[in-house]
């Protein structure tokens, strides 16, 4: 009561924005008055307190204070006085806390009436008492007293009839208030009987929140219209034309299954559009998603069609998506299947008659194998030698990665959904592997180099392997791990390379052992790999965080790369050509479209310095903040 009174007075007083300081003081007086109302009710009463306030305001009215007249009318309103009197009664009742002396006053009354009737010559007082107790008004009063004393307020349902037919089906009447939200239920027709059933109740919809409609319920009437024999489209038209409330008569499904399972979170590994799927039971209820979208699957009771929401969720109603088995069958039908990965374990890296444009340079252009700066603060920066970078700039058909078609981690290519969970790295755990992916020339290598130079005691890259002979001044394990060709090929067969390739007759590659070595030393390992090599790194031990370095807009790309230089096998530092920029744009779009389901975040390299600052912030968040990872990574700690 008090809060209602205060809020109403405040709303009335808020219209007096031009009434001067008196209104502010009067409003403050009302607030103080309402906060002390409970104490006043215990002492002199609220009505007396209100009379005193009205008197003070009345004096202000006589003095013609601006706004006092309206406040005086408000405080003198009859409804306010009646409300406060009710409040006084409630406060008095709360203070006295009366309790019934006898909960059965009606029974005592009947005993007295029976006793008076037995008196042979009753006195006048006895006859008067008999007349009072036997009057209907007193009987009703005593009956009400007994109801209150016994706290018997609830309605009593009439008893069921003794004889009911065994085949009588229970009928349920469901009333739903129609609003702008969808009903959240689908219907189907039994072709043999013509009966209409509730086929599905969408999680989060109006029907689901009501808890009164369930899958399998037989629909008998809608707003008084029998629906047996009608087509589902005709029932939908009845619902569309309904206004206000919708009244259903249904026969409940005897075997109702309550979906009390916890939601499951999954990452979509394929694209899906319900409007292009002819097998979906209700296209309007379908939900489209793209690779990499995070899905909250709230209902898997149907083996073919699940109910899910996209995260972050902006709607309360879930949508229909194909189950994993249904989507796999569609993949087998070549709807969304990816090309098969060709087995690449130890085969000639180039065919004898295959030459790349990058190898047609004159022999006089000898490329040195020196990086711009291999040492920072006394710490050697591995993985930036030009020979290691140049093998990755050859044509796409000569690039190699560890064989993913036979790798145990290649299941992500054939799984339409990947179950994920939130992961929070503990301080004593190893740092997550940071993987940078991007098109050649977009700045991945430069960002990685700047990041490691920024703090080489924290960030470090793995030392590559090579079959090239060691040169004077080099040390094995610093510039490269120098190994024989036989050992290199043995490591390839055992899937111990993230990726590898050939340059000028020598093999170069990044091994998983080199990555593990950096991680075990407590450093943050930063690698940049080809997109297809991500699968090799997706293990529970490394828990890679993949950052896609995306090319900016074409105009910005031409502006920022105007003075940039590119390294090729025939020209050490040449300017970007228009062909290079077009190839960079196309390749960046292709990588994002094909591999974005593996990306944790996308970073646009619009400005190199700004991108480096954003990259540091992203990496820090990846190590310290909860992130979504595959459930298999948390279950199987390698």
Contact status, residue 530 vs residue 404, Cβ threshold 8 Å:
no
- What are the tens digits of pLDDT across the range 296-318? 999 988 889 999 999 988 777 88
Give pLDDT, residue 59.
66
Three-state helix/strand/coil letters over 183-196: CCEEEEECCCCCCE
Give pLDDT, residue 185.
87
Query: What value does the mean pLDDT take over residues 556-568?
Result: 68
Query: Higher pLDDT residue, 372 or 231?
Result: 231
Instruction: Kindly state the tokens that stand for 208.
Output: 């689901």
105-114, 180-189, 372-381 — most confident range: 105-114
Q: What backbone phi and psi angles, to 5 degrees, belong to 241?
A: -80, -10
Give pLDDT, residue 150.
83
Contact status, residue 310 vs residue 294, Cβ threshold 8 Å:
yes
Map residue 199 onto helix, strand or coil.
strand
Integer Cα distance of 37 and 20 in angstroms: 26
**What secondary structure does DSSP assign to 528-557, as a single string?**
E--GGGHHHH--TTT--EEEEEE---HHHH
Query: Higher pLDDT residue, 199 or 60?
Result: 199
Split at pLDDT 50, 70, 90, the class of 346 is very low
289 beta partners? 272
Give pLDDT, residue 363.
35
Strands of the 264-268 sheet, one edge to the other: 319-322, 305-311, 294-299, 264-268, 417-423, 627-630
- The answer on pLDDT for 534 being more than 70 is yes
In 235-391, the DSSP E strands lie at: 245-251, 264-268, 294-299, 305-311, 319-322, 375-376, 379-380
The CATH number of the structural domain formed by 365-635 is: 3.40.50.300
Q: What are the domain boundaries of the chain?
A: 2-96, 105-149, 172-251, 266-332, 365-635
- The answer on pLDDT for 608 being more than 60 is yes
Query: What value does the mean pLDDT take over residues 223-230?
Result: 87
Give pLDDT, residue 120.
86
Q: What superfamily in CATH does domain 172-251 come from?
A: PDZ domain (2.30.42.10)
Integer Cα distance of 56 and 461 in angstroms: 82
| Beta-carbon count within 10 A of 552 CB | 20
Query: Higher pLDDT residue, 267 or 553?
Result: 267
Contact status, residue 263 vs residue 185, Cβ threshold 8 Å:
no
- The answer on pLDDT for 505 being more than 60 is yes
Split at pLDDT 50, 70, 90, the class of 18 is very low
- The answer on pLDDT for 209 being more than 70 is yes
- The answer on pLDDT for 78 being more than 90 is no
Query: Higher pLDDT residue, 468 or 152?
Result: 468
- The answer on pLDDT for 240 being more than 70 is yes
- The answer on pLDDT for 628 being more than 90 is yes
Give pLDDT, residue 604.
94
Integer Cα distance of 239 and 488 in angstroms: 70
Mean of the per-residue pLDDT values of the chain: 77
Q: What superfamily in CATH does domain 266-332 come from?
A: SH3 Domains (2.30.30.40)
Could you tell me how many residues make up the chain?
638
- The answer on pLDDT for 460 being more than 50 is yes
- What are the tens digits of pLDDT across the range 58-75? 666 566 656 667 677 777
Query: Higher pLDDT residue, 356 or 78?
Result: 78
Give pLDDT, residue 35.
46
499 beta partners? 401, 510
In 347-433, the DSSP E strands lie at: 375-376, 379-380, 400-401, 417-423
Give pLDDT, residue 560.
74
Does the global pTM surpass 0.75? no
């Amino acid at each position: 009561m008090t809060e209602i009174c205060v809020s109403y007075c405040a709303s009335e007083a808020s219209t007096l924005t031009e009434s001067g300081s008196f209104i502010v003081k009067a409003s403050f007086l009302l607030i103080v008055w309402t906060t002390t109302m409970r104490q006043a009710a215990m002492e002199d009463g609220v009505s007396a307190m209100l009379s005193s306030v009205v008197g003070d305001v009345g004096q202000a009215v006589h003095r013609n204070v601006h706004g006092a007249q309206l406040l005086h009318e408000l405080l003198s309103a009859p409804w306010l006085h009646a409300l406060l009197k009710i409040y006084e009664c409630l406060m008095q009742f709360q203070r006295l806390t009366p309790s019934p002396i006898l909960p059965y006053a009606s029974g005592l009354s009947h005993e007295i009436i029976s006793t008076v009737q037995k008196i042979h010559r009753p006195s006048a007082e006895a006859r008067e008492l008999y007349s009072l107790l036997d009057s209907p008004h007193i009987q009703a009063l005593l009956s009400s007293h007994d109801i209150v004393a016994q706290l018997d307020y609830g309605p009593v349902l009439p008893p069921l009839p003794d004889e009911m037919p065994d085949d009588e089906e229970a009928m349920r009447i469901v009333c739903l208030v129609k609003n702008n939200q969808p009903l959240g239920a689908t219907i189907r027709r039994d072709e043999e009987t013509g009966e209409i059933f509730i086929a599905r109740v969408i999680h989060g919809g109006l029907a689901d929140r009501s808890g009164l409609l369930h899958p399998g319920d037989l629909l008998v009437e809608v707003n008084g219209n029998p629906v047996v024999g009608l087509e589902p489209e005709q029932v939908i038209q009845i619902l569309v034309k309904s206004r206000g409330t919708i009244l259903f008569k249904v026969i409940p499904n005897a075997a109702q299954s309550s979906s009390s399972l916890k939601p499951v979170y999954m990452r979509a590994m394929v694209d899906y559009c319900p409007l292009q799927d002819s097998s979906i039971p209700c296209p309007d209820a379908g939900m489209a998603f793209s690779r990499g979208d995070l899905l909250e699957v709230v209902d898997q009771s149907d083996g073919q069609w699940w109910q899910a929401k996209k995260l972050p969720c902006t709607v309360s109603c879930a949508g229909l998506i194909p189950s994993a088995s249904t989507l796999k069958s569609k993949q087998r039908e070549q709807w969304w299947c990816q090309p098969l990965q060709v087995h690449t374990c130890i085969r000639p890296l180039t065919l004898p008659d295959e030459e790349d444009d990058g190898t047609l340079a004159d022999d006089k252009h000898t490329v040195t194998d020196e990086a711009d700066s291999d040492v920072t603060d006394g710490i050697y920066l591995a993985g930036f030698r030009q020979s290691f970078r140049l093998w990755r700039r050859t044509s796409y058909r000569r690039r190699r990665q560890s064989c993913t078609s036979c790798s145990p981690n290649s299941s992500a290519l054939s799984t339409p959904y990947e179950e994920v969970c939130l992961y929070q790295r503990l301080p004593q755990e190893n740092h997550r592997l940071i993987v940078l992916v991007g098109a050649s020339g977009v700045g991945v290598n430069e960002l990685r180099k700047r990041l490691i130079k920024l703090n080489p005691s924290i960030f470090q890259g793995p030392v590559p392997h090579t079959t090239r002979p060691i040169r004077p001044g080099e040390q094995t394990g610093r510039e490269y791990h120098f190994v024989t060709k036989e050992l290199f090929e043995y490591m390839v067969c055992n899937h111990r390379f993230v990726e590898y390739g050939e340059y000028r007759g020598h093999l170069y590659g990044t091994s998983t052992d080199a990555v593990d070595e950096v991680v075990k030393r407590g450093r943050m390992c930063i690698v940049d790999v080809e997109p297809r090599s991500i699968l090799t790194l997706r293990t529970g031990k490394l828990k890679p965080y993949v950052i896609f370095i995306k090319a900016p807009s074409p105009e910005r790309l031409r502006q920022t790369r105007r003075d940039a230089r590119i390294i090729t096998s025939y020209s050490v530092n040449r300017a970007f050509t228009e062909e290079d920029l077009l190839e960079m744009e196309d390749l960046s779009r292709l990588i994002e479209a094909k591999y974005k389901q593996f990306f944790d975040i996308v970073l646009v390299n619009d400005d190199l310095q700004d991108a480096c600052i954003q990259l540091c912030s992203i990496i820090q968040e990846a190590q310290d903040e909860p992130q979504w990872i595959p459930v298999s990574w948390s279950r199987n700690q390698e």
